[in-house]
């Protein structure tokens, strides 16, 4: 049996439940999902400032996960906050959901579109496309112009806006796949895939299968080179607990 830690980097318990349910829906028999979030930080991640704060919570959860004996970790925010730092700290694989979704999209289509929340987060997605080498694979980026927590308000308005943007992307972009650009959209992928007749990819689900595969192959995060464990040095003040 493998235990995969799914980290929601914001403090929303409702979104953590949504993300955990999506992860469990695709987990293989014998895989247990541990869905967690920080107990301090930001309630939603919608910019560079939020990501900087959230990255500390991610590292705290990775440290806890290691102590609990998890096999691997997933960072369930589309900005992949703290990803490389988390890989330094972890021994098992660490996958970000943006990274997982983009990689998956390139395996099933030559071009993909991204549908995310607020327009201000589009630049973060563009930075990740460049970092991961997928800029030329991405046909277009769309925002529903609603905050992340609108996905958890129970009205269904945000979900319908995601649906409409996905329909628009299929009609206008010439993409073969659509990537959902928020962990809070995780529950929408399967239904939209059926309705639109093309892959609508949720990074949470994709990341679960990637971690499972890496664990089955016996691969953890390489400790040869820059992802070796952090250099030992005394951390002070609020960071002492990360020693």
* Closest C-alpha among 80, 85, 56 to residue 183: 80
* Closest C-alpha among 103, 120, 102, 101 to residue 51: 120
- For residues 191 and 181, membership in a common domain is answered with yes
Question: Lowest-pLDDT range, 100-104, 131-135, 177-181, 233-237?
Answer: 233-237
Give mean pLDDT, residues 54-66.
Answer: 98
pLDDT value, residue 96: 98
- For residues 12 and 26, membership in a common domain is answered with yes
- For residues 102 and 86, membership in a common domain is answered with no
pLDDT value, residue 156: 97
pLDDT in tens, 63-118: 999 999 999 999 999 999 999 999 999 999 999 999 999 999 999 999 999 999 99
pLDDT value, residue 1: 82
> What whole-number distance in Å separates Cα of residue 192 and Cα of residue 187?
10
> What whole-number distance in Å separates Cα of residue 149 and Cα of residue 145?
12
238 pLDDT tier (thresholds 50, 70, 90): confident
> What whole-number distance in Å separates Cα of residue 33 and Cα of residue 62?
14
- For residues 116 and 164, membership in a common domain is answered with yes
Give mean pLDDT, residues 149-173.
Answer: 97
- For residues 15 and 43, membership in a common domain is answered with yes
188: tokens are 């929408």
Q: Which helix (H) or strand (E) holds 242?
A: none
- For residues 90 and 8, membership in a common domain is answered with yes
User: For position 71, which CATH number holds?
Assistant: 3.40.50.12500
- For residues 197 and 212, membership in a common domain is answered with no
- For the chain, the average pLDDT equals 97
Give mean pLDDT, residues 12-21.
Answer: 97
Pairing relationship of beta strands 72-75 and 2-7 according to DSSP bridges = parallel
- For residues 18 and 47, membership in a common domain is answered with yes
* Closest C-alpha among 232, 231, 219, 239 to residue 91: 219
- For residues 90 and 77, membership in a common domain is answered with yes
User: pTM of the prediction?
Assistant: 0.97
> What whole-number distance in Å separates Cα of residue 59 and Cα of residue 47?
19
Q: What is the 3-state secondary structure (H, E, C) of 78-94?
A: CCCCCHHHHHHHCCCCE
Number of domains within the chain: 2
pLDDT value, residue 40: 96
> What whole-number distance in Å separates Cα of residue 24 and Cα of residue 164?
27
> What whole-number distance in Å separates Cα of residue 173 and Cα of residue 70?
40
Domain of 85 in residue numbering reads as: 2-96+205-239
- For residues 15 and 54, membership in a common domain is answered with yes
Q: How many angstroms separate the first and last alpha carbons of the chain?
A: 29
pLDDT in tens, 163-199: 999 999 999 999 999 999 999 999 999 999 999 999 9
Q: Is 203 helix (H, G, I), strand (E, B) or coil?
A: helix
Name the burial class of residue 40, with classes exposed (0-12), middle (13-18) and buried (19+) by CB atoms within 10 angstroms of its CB. Answer: exposed
Q: For residue 150, is pLDDT > 90?
A: yes
pLDDT value, residue 243: 80
């Amino acid at each position: 049996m493998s235990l995969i830690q799914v980290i929601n980097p914001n403090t929303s318990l409702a979104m953590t439940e949504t993300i955990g349910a999506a992860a469990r829906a695709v987990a293989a028999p014998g895989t247990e999902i541990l869905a967690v979030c920080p107990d301090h930080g930001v309630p939603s991640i919608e910019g560079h400032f939020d990501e900087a704060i959230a990255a500390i919570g991610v590292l705290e959860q990775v440290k806890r996960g290691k102590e609990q004996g998890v096999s691997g970790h997933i960072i369930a925010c589309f900005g992949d906050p703290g990803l490389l730092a988390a890989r330094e700290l972890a021994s098992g694989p660490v996958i970000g959901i943006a990274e997982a979704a983009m990689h998956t999209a390139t395996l099933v289509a030559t071009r993909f579109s991204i549908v995310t929340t607020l327009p201000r987060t589009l630049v973060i997605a563009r930075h990740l496309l460049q970092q991961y080498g997928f800029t030329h694979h991405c046909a277009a980026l769309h925002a529903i112009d609603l905050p992340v927590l609108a996905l958890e308000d129970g009205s269904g308005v945000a979900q319908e806006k995601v649906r409409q943007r996905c329909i628009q992307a299929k009609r206008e972009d010439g993409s073969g796949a659509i990537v959902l650009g928020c962990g809070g959209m995780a529950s929408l992928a399967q239904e939209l895939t059926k309705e639109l007749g093309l892959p609508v990819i949720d990074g949470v689900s994709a990341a679960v299968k990637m971690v499972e595969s890496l664990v089955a192959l016996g691969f953890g995060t390489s400790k040869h080179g820059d992802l070796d464990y952090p250099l030992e040095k005394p951390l002070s003040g609020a960071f002492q607990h990360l020693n």
